[in-house]
Amino acid sequence: MELKNPLYKNIGIHVITALFTVEKGTTKVLLVRRTNDPFKGMWALPSGAMYNNELIKDGALRELKEKTGIELDDLTPFRTFDALDRSPLYRMIGVGYIGIIDSQTVEILKTTNKTSNADWFTLDNIPKLAYDHNEILNYAIEKLKERIITTDILKSFFPNGFTLPELQTVYESILNIKIDRRNFRKKMLNVIVDTKKEVNYVGKKKAKLYKFDKKKKDISIF
Amino acid sequence: MELKNPLYKNIGIHVITALFTVEKGTTKVLLVRRTNDPFKGMWALPSGAMYNNELIKDGALRELKEKTGIELDDLTPFRTFDALDRSPLYRMIGVGYIGIIDSQTVEILKTTNKTSNADWFTLDNIPKLAYDHNEILNYAIEKLKERIITTDILKSFFPNGFTLPELQTVYESILNIKIDRRNFRKKMLNVIVDTKKEVNYVGKKKAKLYKFDKKKKDISIF
DNA sequence: CCAAAAGTGTTATGTTTACACCCATGT
DNA sequence: ACATGGGTGTAAACATAACACTTTTGG
């Protein structure tokens, strides 16, 4: 079907992913370097145009894989960006997604046919990005902070479970606060379950391994 | 600019508005009756296709005005709907908006060149709607409940301020709960300010007129 | 045996809930 | 004068925040 009114035409959807990790207490985000115009040579969030035969989230997952080699099975949308001039050549509506994984567990592709580099950047060291990606990233950071205290989004960071000390480190890194250990445990124990396993995380003493309680997707920490 | 890859073409944006009101303790939503295919003759949320030269929200405001005659200056987005088959003829991404006004203060157009009727429907009496609008409405209702306790969205319902009893009625209607009058006042007084005026709302005794505190957009009731 | 990290309880403070009577006014 | 709705305070329950010592174990 063709739309008659030209005002309905020439619209596309950008899918943009802010993929975070935490390394040794530092929050980082994955950026890729563009090899094509527009914004050739600039760093950007992994992103691209959605196909008309895929769900938006699937487009985001596909683009993330194409631009970084990282294959996830879920991302969560956080906001739509629709400024008229956000893309220079064509009216593109941007849909932003956030995800969080442990960077140690993935291998990132440094080059693809549209990117010449890829790396994890600390949040106080973000270069000027392509498109409106600096703005998108800022919203993504705020939304990540909100989601870790209201949802179990961190389970993608800990596919094999976590000890309470390492979970606390991730919370403290992302929220940029210090949390009392005993109070943290008290709150968390409402939404996580003991796996009955123990592991060595940092110390010499073994720590109990927990996972998020599947029945409690909506949580409320702090 | 033309996009080369056909997978990038043939995408449009639907803007869909769930406009709520509360009448005598009953929450209602505005529906319009379609005169054109697809879904000819069916009731629907006021909606239409966004133009490629307008912001999504402006498209929603424009469509609301075209389909109902109601002219607002703001709406808040709540979710994107992207099922591949949500529109039968063309890939359309739906962007949902919610708003709330006092139906007494507006005159709705019963017919337009695309609608044959328009009316406020109580939420327990919603017919089968066009497209995926029943699903969209259900999400909108949940989001409205969330927004009235976390934002000052109700200020559009009370452009001239409100008394605490009438504000409480709106909260109780939308949330479908009873609230203790004294506790309600205590909470609300954190986010509203006295206008130093008094009006008669229902009773014979005058009641103080309040408005939302502009400095407190993010609130937390309950 | 000691350094380094894991684990644990109690008190104080703040927040939320439950609850009942007086006041003002139009009829 | 009375019916109708507006306005107000306090105590109990609950949730959050502050705080320090003991346990385990690898080196």
DSSP H or E stretch at residue A27: strand A26-34
C1’ C21 / CA A203, Å: 62
Of the candidates B192, B200, B194, which has an alpha carbon nearest to the alpha carbon of residue B171? Answer: B192
Query: In which residue ranges of chain B is pLDDT below 70?
Result: 1-4
CA distance B214 to A20: 34
Residue A126 buriedness (CB in 10 A; 0-12 / 13-18 / 19+): middle
* Nucleotides on strand D lying under 7 Å from protein C-beta: 3-10, 16-20, 23-26
Beta bridge partners of B209: B197
pLDDT for the residue A4:
63
* Nucleotides on strand C lying under 7 Å from protein C-beta: 3-10, 16-20, 23-26
CA distance A176 to A166: 15
Indicate yes or no: pTM above 0.75. Answer: yes
C1’ D20 / CA A182, Å: 11
User: Chain A closest CA to B146's CA: distance in Å?
Assistant: 14
Q: How confident is chain A (222 residues) per 10-residue block, as mean pLDDT?
A: 67 96 96 96 97 97 98 98 94 97 96 97 98 98 97 96 96 96 96 94 89 91 84
The model's pLDDT over A93-149, given as tens digits with 9 standing for 90+, comes to: 999 999 999 999 999 999 999 999 999 999 999 999 999 999 999 999 999 999 999
DSSP H or E stretch at residue A156: none
Residues 6+ apart with CB under 8 A from A205: none
Q: Looking at residue A21, what DSSP letter applies?
A: E
Task: Read off the tokens for B216.
Answer: 């407190």
Contacts of B88 in chain A (CB under 8 A): none
C1’ D7 / CA B38, Å: 55
3-class secondary-structure state, position A171: helix
- Residue A158 sits at φ, ψ, to 5 deg, of -125, 65
User: Chain B closest CA to A6's CA: distance in Å?
Assistant: 8
- Residue B154 sits at φ, ψ, to 5 deg, of -70, -10
**Helices and strands (H and E) in chain A: how many:** 4, 9
3-class secondary-structure state, position A18: strand
Residue B64 contacts residue B75 (beta carbons within 8 Å): yes
Hey, are the CB atoms on A11 and B52 less than 8 Å from each other? yes
- For testing contact with chain B, the best of A82, A142, A145 (most B CBs within 10 A): A82
Task: Read off the tokens for B28.
Answer: 């209602």
Contacts of A5 in chain B (CB under 8 A): 49
pLDDT for the residue B4:
63
CA distance A115 to A191: 40
pLDDT for the residue A75:
98
CA distance A160 to A101: 12
